[in-house]
């Protein structure tokens, strides 16, 4: 590995450091306790209910630990995926649109020689 490659990776790490700070700030800004409190009744009951109906959360994996683990995630994202909360549905739509360019940059960057066999590539 050439010295310029090491310097380049170090410079890239320094430049990327603000994004880590932004990620920490976003994590702190989310109200995880409120999200958990909203999803917990549905996850515990195994049924997601709203004004227009209800649906049972199926045990997909057949492994109790995995089924219980994914039940919480299913209950958490149900307002946006089932469409009974229009604000959440638009937020997820916006998130997916924002994620597209990031994914495209990741794919393009992974084709560069300097990024081969780096942790981000793997």
Write out pLDDT tens, residues 60-81. Answer: 888 988 988 889 888 888 888 8
**What is the structure's pLDDT at 5?**
63
With 60 as the cut, is the pLDDT of residue 2 above it?
no
**Residues whose CB is less than 8 angstroms from the CB of residue 79 and which lie 6 or more positions away in sequence, other chains included:** 50, 85, 88, 89
| Interval 76-97 mean pLDDT | 84
* Among 27, 18, 86, 2, residue whose Cα is nearest residue 51: 86
Q: Rounded CA gap, 72 and 61, in Å?
A: 14
User: Is-above-0.85 flag for pTM?
Assistant: no
Q: How far apart are CA 75 and CA 44, in angstroms?
A: 9
pLDDT, averaged across the chain:
83
């Amino acid at each position: 590995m050439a010295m310029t490659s090491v310097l380049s990776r170090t410079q890239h790490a320094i430049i990327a450091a603000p994004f880590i700070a932004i990620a920490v700030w976003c994590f702190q800004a989310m109200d995880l306790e409120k999200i958990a409190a909203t999803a917990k009744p549905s996850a515990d009951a195994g049924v997601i209910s709203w004004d227009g109906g209800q649906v049972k959360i199926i045990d997909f994996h057949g492994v109790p630990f995995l089924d219980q683990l994914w039940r919480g995630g299913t209950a958490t994202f149900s307002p946006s995926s089932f469409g009974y909360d229009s604000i959440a549905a638009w937020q997820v739509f916006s998130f997916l649109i924002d994620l597209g360019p990031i994914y495209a940059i990741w794919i393009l960057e992974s084709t560069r020689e300097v990024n081969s066999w780096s942790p981000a590539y793997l």
